Amino acid sequence: MIPNLNKKILNNRQRTFLFLLIAIVFLLSIVFIGTILDKDNIATNLQDRNSSPDFKHLFGTDWLGRDMFARTIMGLSLSIKVGIIGAAGSTLIALSLGLAAATMGNIADRVVTWLIDLFLSVPHLVTLILIAFTLGGGFNGVVIGIALTHWPSLARIIRAEVMQIRSAEFVQISRMMGKSKVWIAFLHIFPHILPQILVGFMLLFPHAILHEAAVTFLGLGLSPHEPAIGIILSESMKYLSSGMWWLAFFPGLCLLIIVRIFDMIGEKLRIIFDPNRAHD
């Protein structure tokens, strides 16, 4: 019998898992390479300064002869670390407030709702700049600023999901059996909202990275001695008029690629957790 040539080798779900595996390995590789790279790779070398991209320096060199490929990889690694810690902190805040609003009574719900509306009324970047400036900038200032400014939208989603789940029959039975609110929250409600938490975390990540780069670009973020993408882009602005386009082009492009990968991971996780697509 002639095999059906139109039959798909992998279904949509299997292709999604394969993409997630490749994307995660790629991102972990950037973090690992950026961590183990020696500082000598970005040392000053005036003999090679202002070199355009070639086989020796894939992304060219800057006005001090520093290799832009090594600086970009180290900057991306640093941005990913900032994004992971900041997004994780913001997700934890959203989870705590969302559960509290939906399980701790009307007063807690009103307070959390008021906080969500308050933070959503001000752009994330403005609040992040104010917090980072107050804390003196640096790694800790940016991470804390991201964690404290990116939680409202996810908290609102978690609150809505929890309010829907708490009216389920199995939750009502547990309540009649005398189970505490904390017991119900962590053993009944939390497992059901875990997919929303994971997807929300991955979708917060692109915003965290871009906002970190923006704050650093403005000089209120990471230290100028760190090879952060925002610092690289900020320093390159004064040299673009002299034709050194590669100083901003490659770091900016790599940053957009990383952001897009994280955004696609979030979308793929949403597909995996979607019960309507479980048999695709």
Q: Helices in the chain by DSSP H: which ranges?
A: 12-36, 68-103, 106-120, 124-134, 138-149, 152-165, 169-176, 181-184, 190-217, 229-236, 246-273
Q: For residues 124 and 146, give the distance between their C-alpha atoms in angstroms, rounded to a whole number.
A: 8
Asked if residue 3 has pLDDT above 60, the reply is no
pLDDT average, residue stretch 70-97: 89
Q: Give the pLDDT confidence of 42-55 residue by residue, as tens digits.
A: 777 778 888 888 88
Contact between 225 and 217 under an 8 Å Cβ cutoff? The reply is no
Q: For residues 211 and 148, give the distance between their C-alpha atoms in angstroms, rounded to a whole number.
A: 13
Asked if residue 175 has pLDDT above 70, the reply is yes
Predicted TM-score (pTM) of this structure: 0.81
Question: Would you call 111 exposed, middle or buried from its count of C-beta atoms within 10 A (0-12, 13-18, 19+)?
Answer: middle
Asked if residue 10 has pLDDT above 80, the reply is no
Asked if residue 5 has pLDDT above 50, the reply is no
pLDDT average, residue stretch 74-86: 88
DSSP 10: S
Asked if residue 33 has pLDDT above 50, the reply is yes
Domain 12-43+64-277 is of which CATH architecture?
A: Orthogonal Bundle (1.10)
pLDDT average, residue stretch 30-47: 80
pLDDT band for position 1 (cuts 50, 70, 90): very low
Structure confidence at residue 6 (pLDDT): 44
108-122, 143-157, 172-186, 205-219: least confident range? 172-186
Q: For residues 262 and 203, give the distance between their C-alpha atoms in angstroms, rounded to a whole number.
A: 7
Position of tokens 């492009």? 253
Tokens of 121: 């009324």
29-33, 153-157, 228-232: least confident range? 228-232
What value, to the nearest 5°, has the Cα angle with vertex 148 and ends 230 and 271? 80
Structure confidence at residue 107 (pLDDT): 87
DSSP 65: -
Asked if residue 179 has pLDDT above 70, the reply is yes
pLDDT average, residue stretch 155-165: 85
Higher pLDDT, 88 or 178: 88
Domain range annotation of the chain: 12-43+64-277
Give me the chain's average pLDDT, please: 82
Torsional sign, CA 214, 220, 221, 223? positive
Higher pLDDT, 82 or 11: 82
pLDDT band for position 9 (cuts 50, 70, 90): low
173-178's contacts with Cβ under 8 Å and 24+ in sequence apart are none
Structure confidence at residue 75 (pLDDT): 87
Asked if residue 152 has pLDDT above 60, the reply is yes
